[in-house]
Amino acid sequence: MRTWAARAATALGASVAALAVHDLTQRRHAILRNFPVLGHFRFWLEAIGPELRQYIVTDNDQERPFNRDQRRWIYTSSKNENNLSGFGSDDNLELASSYLIIKHAAFPRSPAPPDAPVPSAKVLGAAHGRARAFRPASIVNLSAMSFGSLSGPAVEALNRGAAKADCLQNTGEGGISSHHRHGGDLVWQIGTGYFGCRDDDGRFSLDRAVDQAASARVRAIEIKLSQGAKAGLGGVVPGVKVTPEIAAIRGVPAGETCISPPRHSAFGDVDGLIDFVETLAGATGLPVGLKSAVGEQRFWDDLVARMAARGEGPDFVTVDGGEGGSGAAPLVFADHVGLPFRAAFPRAYRAFATQGLTDDICFIGSGKLGLPDNGLLAMALGCDMVNVGREAMLAIGCIQAQRCHTGRCPTGVATQSPWLTGGLDPDLKSVRAAAYVVALRSELSRLAGVCGQPHPALVDLDDFELVDHGRHATGAREAFAYEADWGGPGAAIRAGLLSVLAEEPDHVP
Ligand SMILES: Cc1cc2nc3c(=O)[nH]c(=O)nc-3n(C[C@H](O)[C@H](O)[C@H](O)COP(=O)(O)O)c2cc1C
């Protein structure tokens, strides 16, 4: 025994000595030359910093992008566990600025059962007469996240979850993979890389697009102009995540960083964009929309003016806030390019509202809208549906380690490492994804009832105030400079929605 212990001690001593020699002789890290051996602890602590802060150091409301309270609500909802809180709010209303308050009715409506359907108020594609127009069954859907940035099991879990929750899964710009084919309905996103519909030179091919759309449960097509986390830049999948399978789907070399250009080659101006939408919609019969972050206002004004003049154009617009997530983005883009949702969405909406076109467009919002308060405000601002990205990742096990860009996501959600993805069971996680979507839908519906409305799309901005430092409150309509009839659906859409709701067996009139 003593010999064994002595041998182990000698081996340990030799390793430490070897490490010390290495540290003293290397030139890359001053800290290791100055503090041999001990200096490694700094790197280790830096690496596990997010987890340390998350589990030990920070308050319930401190972390970003999602604080502990928010994550706990998502985790417990996804597991169908108790998602209530006890003792009272720990938010500091005395210090907070623009703190959102929802004004309850004195006589609220009785809530619908938690799993009651909450369909979209608008029929996607109806205003432009698309052959395959449809009313989305859920106001909460899964945001664009490609196979490539997410692992195969994660995409599969979300697809199965979408089928269970009767919602839509957006493929992200990386194309349609085998993992997207497990029964969930899809919004197929086409980015500047045209993955799944590119010819041999990387240019858009309509024939391939038609074939691709017909090959899976595609219900709508989204043309990606930009996303909030890296507005003005194309997509990027680091080489470490470009496996042979991903390379084959995208038609790019394996192991090399896959970059999509910042702009489309199939069109270069607003009229070209509208032509592209009409060509795709005409060839597939599907509703076609676009996704964009909000920067220069001229684009939105031009788009709406040309849509009004031509009577054509996108069936839906997804506005992504600058606080949105990404698998990999330059820090300055994530932090400083593209307006945050509450500033962004009203600008895009206003362009449509001033031309009287809001009823012809289905508005979708994203950017931390997978939390009930944010989601409800988005709907009052005019969103017909909200997309959830990182919240859905949390629901399937993400711990906000913020390593999506390294290929070393510890939970197997945003990595292609066979070892790490092996821990993610798509069957179990699909149940969690669905439970989270259903819980969010139900909470939005319950909040609508609290405001006296039968559906979240009918809640309006007059039901909100923004409180500064616990004292001064501003009505949300005034704060967002919305005119009296902005934010909600017009009379015909409202009537259509109420008649759909009336057909639900559990509907409370
Ligand atoms: C891992 C990851 C991958 C993403 N991939 C795409 C993509 O392919 N296309 C896109 O338009 N947006 C992409 N996004 C952005 C999301 O679709 C969404 O717009 C954004 O994260 C805001 O929603 P959230 O706050 O609910 O996450 C991605 C986000 C994440 C976190």
Can you give the three-state secondary structure of 449-498, one letter per residue? HHCCCCCHHHCCHHHEEEEECCCEEEEHHHHCCCCCCCCCCCHHHHHHHH
pLDDT of residue 259: 84
What is the domain count for the chain?
A: 2
The reply to whether 124 falls in a domain is no
Give the number of the atom of ligand 1 that is nearest the alpha carbon of residue 65: 25
d(CA 249, CA 226): 21
Q: Is residue 144 within 6 Å of ligand 1 at its C-beta?
A: yes
**148, 46: one domain:** no
Residue 44 Cα distances to 37, 40, 112, 197, angstroms: 12, 6, 50, 44
Q: Residue 429: what are its φ and ψ, rounded to 5°?
A: -70, -25
What the block records as the tokens of 11 is: 């081996």
Q: Taking Cα atoms as reference points, which of 425, 408, 390, 403 lies closest to residue 153? A: 425
Q: For residues 86 and 439, which has the higher predicted lDDT (pLDDT)?
A: 439
Has residue 92 been placed in a domain? no
Q: Looking at the structure, tell me whether residues 44 and 188 fall in a common domain.
A: no
Based on the fold, state whether residues 158 and 270 are members of the same structural domain: yes
Mean pLDDT of the chain: 94
pLDDT tens, 186-201?
Answer: 999 999 999 999 998 8
Question: What pLDDT, in 10s, does the model give residues 412-467?
Answer: 999 999 999 999 999 999 999 999 999 999 999 999 999 999 999 999 999 999 99
Reply yes or no on whether the pLDDT at 299 is more than 90.
yes
pLDDT band at 269 (very low <50, low <70, confident <90, very high): very high
Cα–Cα distance measured from residue 394 to residue 432, given in angstroms and rounded to the nearest whole number:
10
Query: Which mutation among 227, 230, 260, 396 tests ligand 1's pocket best, with the greatest number of atoms within 8 A of CB?
Result: 227
**Residue 83 burial by CB count (10 A; 0-12/13-18/19+): exposed, middle or buried?**
middle
Q: What pLDDT score does 39 carry?
A: 84
| pLDDT for position 509 | 66
Instruction: Give yes or no for residue 137 having a pLDDT over 80.
Output: yes
Residues 180 and 31 in one domain: no
Query: Which of 136, 137, 134 shows the shortest CA–CA distance to 115?
Result: 137
Q: Counting every residue, how long is the chain? A: 509
Same domain, 49 and 155: no
* 442, 435 Cβ separation under 8 angstroms: no
pLDDT of 31 strictly over 90 = no
Greatest pairwise CA separation for the chain in angstroms: 90
This prediction's pTM: 0.92
As a whole number of angstroms, the distance between CA 209 and CA 66 comes to: 36
Tell me what pLDDT residue 507 has. 67
Closest CA to 348 of 314, 376, 392: 314
Residue 1 has pLDDT above 60, yes or no: no
Domain limits for position 291: 140-453
**Ligand 1 in reach of 149 Cβ (< 6 A):** yes
Please tell me whether residues 151 and 43 are part of one structural domain: no
How do residues 220-266 score in pLDDT, each as one tens digit? Answer: 999 999 999 999 998 888 888 899 999 988 888 899 988 889 999 99
State the distance from the centre of ligand 1 to the C-alpha of 228, rounded, in angstroms.
Answer: 8
- Say if residue 508's pLDDT is above 70: no
CA-nearest of 145, 150, 158 to 409 is: 150
